[in-house]
Amino acid sequence: MSKLPFAAVLFDLDGVLVDSELLGNAVWLDLLAEHGLTLDRDTLMRRAVGGTHQALFDWLHAEHRWVPPEGFLPELDARLARAFTATPAIEGAADTLRALRAAGLPVAVASNSLRARLRLKMAAAGLADLVGEHVYDPAHVGGRGKPAPDLYAFAAAQLGVSPTRALVVEDSVTGLTAGVAAGATVWGLLAGGHIHPDSAQALRQAGAEHVLFSHAELRAALGLSVPV
């Protein structure tokens, strides 16, 4: 069993369990360019990681006076669906989920992505069965995505635990803010293949008690070993 006083672990998905950020970013860059807006990868990544699509559209309008033309959203959804069929798991993520199951700690995924998209990514990465049914998006909480605390508070409640007894694992300031506001203990995990727009220092300043750089480090911090 875990040596730490957590009753559940709540994961963000993108950049924490699956390495999907570069796939999604490439789709956005290509489609925006086809509709007259050229952005560099790092600029878009800084705005996209951890946020909702609506927040990104709001930024595109405020910063570039760009609004999605008719047909943009269906095409975006179709291209993302195709791209995410190739989503890989982050190295060690499956081992972490197996170790948590063996330790008797329930897990949930809480993400600003749409639930159908979350399911697609997890299936492609081979993690769907290890996570189970506890997968939540802003639609579960009236659209109040991160950085609001609602999503993590709801996920904890669905597992039957208080957020104050939950560990949240996040890779963005947006997500960390949500976890802290929900009353959870929050750790940063910078293990994805993309260049993280939020540095370890930024995550600590947002309230991360630890910042880790691999799932092996995460398991070690939890006192977990991979079941044989």
pLDDT of residue 42 exceeding 80: no
CA separation for the pair 86, 103 (Å, rounded): 30
Q: Is the dihedral of CA 186, 190, 194, 196 positive or negative?
A: positive
3-class secondary-structure state, position 36: coil
Cβ count within 10 A of residue 153: 22
Give residue 3's pLDDT.
56
* Cα gap 170→180, rounded to integer Å: 11
Collapsing DSSP to helix, strand or coil, 169 comes out as strand
pLDDT at 150: 98
- Domains parsed from the chain with CATH numbers: 8-19+88-222 (3.40.50.1000), 21-84 (1.10.150.240)
Q: How far apart are CA 118 and CA 12, in angstroms?
A: 10
pLDDT at 195: 61
Q: How many other C-beta atoms lie within 10 A of the C-beta of residue 154?
A: 19
* pLDDT one-digit tens code per residue, 70-115: 888 889 888 988 988 999 999 999 999 999 999 999 999 999 988 8
Coil, strand, or helix at residue 131?
helix
Per-residue pLDDT of 5-34, as tens digits, reads 799 999 999 999 998 888 878 888 888 888
Q: What is the torsion angle, in degrees rounded to the nearest 10, for the CA atoms of residue 29, residue 44, residue 138 and residue 102?
A: 100
CB 155, CB 10: distance < 8 Å = yes
Q: For 181-208, how does the pLDDT look when each residue is reduced to its tens digit (9 = 90+)?
A: 999 999 999 998 766 666 889 899 999 9
